[in-house]
Structure formats: structure tokens, C-alpha cells
Structure 1
Amino acid sequence: MKTPPKPTPAELDLLQFIWPLGAATAKQVHEAMLKERPDVAYGTVLRLMQIMHGKGLLIRDESQRSHIYAPAVGKEAMQTNMLQDLLQRAFSGSAKALVLTALRSGISKKDREEIEKLLKDGDQQSAPP
């Protein structure tokens, strides 16, 4: 499978709105974005979506009058791809270094408790019976 292109920060921001929608017109994406960014222009959203389609970040259904756009790659797959890239470029492939850096940068008590539970549950699953 071909590695998806890396989105720019603006493209990644737009994907955060379109992933929950699944498939949507530019107008629907614009309306979703307006709730958080009242100053975003429809033309800007449409143009960015057209660029993202050209790059392969979005797929487009042109069978209706209003084109329907959908993410070419799911959120989890994109996050995994971007994490792998970061892991290689910034941490020489060391997941341990990445995690330790993230933990040192400060996390909330709730996040720490969730991480500890995940680690504990993982240990129990891998322990012999």
C-alpha cells in the first residue's frame, strides 16, 4: 500500500473536521469549522479541499451537483503514519525515547492513570497462566 502524503498543518486541521463527518460537501465542512472558527471563509475551505484532493488526501465523488469529499485515509492510519515518521526522524526509531520525552513534557494526573492502567492490563494479558 502506498504511504499517504503528509498533510500540512492546515490540511491536518481540516481533516480533524472531516474525519467525524466521514463524507461531506465543502459547505458541510465549512459549517462544522465555523463552530470553532467563525472567521474561516467558505472559499478557503473549498480551495483547501480541492488541493487535498489533488494530493490524494481526500477522495471526491463528482456524481452529484455538490461534490462529496471523504478522507482517503482514516484518522488512525494517518496518526500511525505520522507517528512512524516522527519516530524515525526525531527519535532514531526509538519508541522508548519518544514515550519518555512525552512523559517528561508533563501529562495530567488523569492521563497518567490511564497510561498506568494500560500498562498494567497489558502486563496481565502477556503473563503466562
Structure 2
Amino acid sequence: MSRLPTPSNAELELLKCLWRTGACSARELHNGVAATLDWSYSSTRKTLERMVDKGLVAEAAEHGLNVYRARAGKVATLAALSSDFARRVLEIDGALPVQAFADSRLLSDTELTELEALLRDPDQDPQP
């Protein structure tokens, strides 16, 4: 499985907005994360440029606007971040229990099942 780079905290906020909405212009993304990131529109634009370069998001022109879509899969990204946190911070060698994510507003029941499988076997290919 090809792995995308780990997103920074700011990049993760932009990805979460894209995962919720599907596709957004830079302005829509900026407005969607304004309460969380509290930064300028130019910072959002610069971060999006870096994310395109890293392969985390795709950019396409639609109706005269640049529109962004997540290329990084939600479940695969969350599994990688969670496993990294468990290993580096908590010093846990095994998989985190999926129950730790049960109250997540970001994940559906189907995605929780996919996450559980990825946490058990991080080398498997995630669902598209």
C-alpha cells in the first residue's frame, strides 16, 4: 500500500473539512476551519499548496474556481495517526482498541469497522 505523508495538525483540520464536505474551494475550506485554526486566508492557501505538493489533496479547476478534494483517505489517515500516537507517545506495541473511537463524530459505523481492521493489520490496503 502506498502511504501518503503524515499531515500536520493544520493539514488534518483541512482534511477533516474535506472529508465532511467532499470538495471545497479554498475560501470554503478557510471558512470551515476558521474557528479552529484562527489564521489568515493566505495561510489556508499556502497550506493547501503544500498539501497538493505532498499528495494529500487534489486540486481541479471547476467553474473558474480551484476546488480541492482529499486524496488521503480518512480511515487510513486516522489509523496511521492513531498507531503512531500509541507507539510513540503511549509506548503501546499492539493495536489500540477500536472502542477508543466509538464516540467519534468523524467516523461512521462502517468506517469504525474499517479502522479496526487497519489497526490490527496496518499493512493491508484500506477500502477506497
**TM-score interval, smaller chain:** 0.5 to 0.7
Determine helix, strand or coil for the equivalent of 2:4. coil
Q: Which runs of 4+ in 1 moved over 4 A?
A: none
Which is greater in Rg? 1
- Which structure carries more relative contact order (alpha carbon 8 Å, separation 6+)? 2
In structure 2, runs of 5+ residues without a counterpart are 104-128
TM-score, normalised with respect to structure 2: 0.63
How far has the Cα of 1:88 moved from its partner?
4.0
- CA distance, structure 2, for counterparts of residue 27 and residue 46 of structure 1: 9
Q: Deviations over 1:70-123 (max 9, x none)?
A: 11122222101222333444435223xx56xxx8xxxxxxx7xxxxxxxxxxxx
> Relative to total residues, which structure has the larger strand share, 1 or 2?
2
8 Å contact from structure 1 (residues 17, 32) kept in 2: yes
* Counterpart Cα distance in 2 of 1:23 and 1:16: 11
Do the aligned partners of residues 88 and 69 (structure 1) sit closer, same or farther apart at CA in structure 2, a change above 3 Å counting?
same
TM-score (norm. length: structure 1): 0.63
Higher helix share: 1
C-alpha change, 1:50 and 1:64, in structure 2 (3 Å) is farther
Counterpart residue number, 1:124:
none
CA deviation after TM superposition for structure 1 residue 53, in Å:
0.6
